[in-house]
Amino acid sequence: MEPKESDADERTLHLADAASIVQANQKDTQIENILNEKLTELLTLLKGQLFTNVHTKHISIISKLVYLSLTTLIGRKTLGEEYVDIFIVNKSNKGLVKRYQRLVFVLGYTLGPFLIQKLIKFWKLRNGSGEGDDSDDDSIAADENVISIETIINCLFDIHMLLFYFKGAYYDISRRVSGLRYVTGHRLTNSEKQLKQKNANTYKILGSVLLLQSISTYMPLLKTGSQLLIKKVYTSSGKTLNDSDMLVDKRDKSGSISNVPDDSRSHHFNLSDKDCFKFIPENSRKCILCLSDMTDPSCAPCGHLYCWKCITNWCGEKEDCPLCRQICRPQHVIPLR
């Protein structure tokens, strides 16, 4: 896809480089925004603030549609393209693009993202209602699927962006689909060529950075995805879920404290036993939180006694004493021994 240097000099024009395409796009976005602003102003006057607030997305689509219909669709340059002097040619740089290609581009560029969003939403809704009466596990799995569909789309966009940075051919997916490429509208001088080469290299560096970034974002996803897949394979092949669960559990627990003795094996002080902590009078041996005889009576900094479990659970919620509201951090609760 590099400009063909050898035979290009005489008859064909140079393919435009990434920098010019980005610049043209920025200019166009700027103009689309101005158009959008004006349209919003007009509609606010006609239909009121509420209408424009509700239909922000639609208005921006309309303004884009109007702009591109008046430029690209009827075969004219957009202001951005004019600005950097590039124009649209077909895939092979052998001629102008056909009208239907331009139409596909304009529709894809304006309505595409909107439609994709709607589709995802629709899909989610349908799935949400469909799985509603199934068991919880199923709906969780469905959630994971939806998330992965969104990430797949994002991933596609990122890959597309990467390709642009390396090849400098198609800035949008809609341009790629409809096969719209850009060439510079004038012969390049040697110094200009050198500058463009330099620019292309900068873009390649940017591309590499982007590549690294995407790898770091998508690698963990890939990992969990493959784990899920393994899990599914396990369950479908008749093996018990426990095996794969333990696999996942082992991964999750790496780095946390191990060898904590099982709760049933450790010794508990239970106040239902009258010989335990005889100094606690009869009428205060019940925990006010669980209303039962205290198990492992523990003292808050203010002196109030609760079960160890009850008070530490509450401190996870709010760090104060349930009775007197004095500050009570979980690390300050002292179990009686």
Q: By CB under 8 A, name the one of 43, 62, 141, 162 that touches other proteins.
A: 62
Interaction of residue 43 with other proteins, rule CB under 8 A: no
21-24 long-range CB contacts below 8 Å, 24 or more apart? 21/86, 21/168, 21/171, 21/182, 22/171, 23/80, 23/83, 23/84, 24/78, 24/80, 24/81, 24/83, 24/84, 24/86, 24/182
What are the residue ranges of helices labelled H in 186-290?
Answer: 190-236, 241-253
Using the contact rule CB under 8 A, the part of the chain among 154-162, 264-272, 274-282, 312-320 near other proteins is 312-320
306: closest CA among 284, 279, 331?
284
Interaction of residue 291 with other proteins, rule CB under 8 A: yes
Using the contact rule CB under 8 A, the part of the chain among 18-26, 150-158, 311-319, 328-336 near other proteins is 311-319
Interaction of residue 187 with other proteins, rule CB under 8 A: no
Residue 290 or 336: the one with the smaller Cβ distance to other proteins is 290
The residue written with tokens 């950097």 in the block is 84
Give phi and psi for 288, each to the nearest 5.
-70, -15
Torsion angle of the four alpha carbons 180, 186, 190, 193, in this order, in degrees rounded to the nearest 10 = -20
Interaction of residue 66 with other proteins, rule CB under 8 A: yes
Give the C-alpha separation, 1 to 305, whole Å. Answer: 77
Least CB distance from residue 58 to other proteins, whole Å?
6
Q: By CB under 8 A, name the one of 89, 310, 328, 333 that touches other proteins.
A: 310
Binding string, 222-261, against other proteins, x = CB under 8 A? ----------------------------------------
Residues that bind other proteins (CB under 8 A): 55, 58, 61-62, 65-66, 69-70, 73-77, 82, 96, 103, 288-292, 310, 313-314, 316-317, 322-323, 325
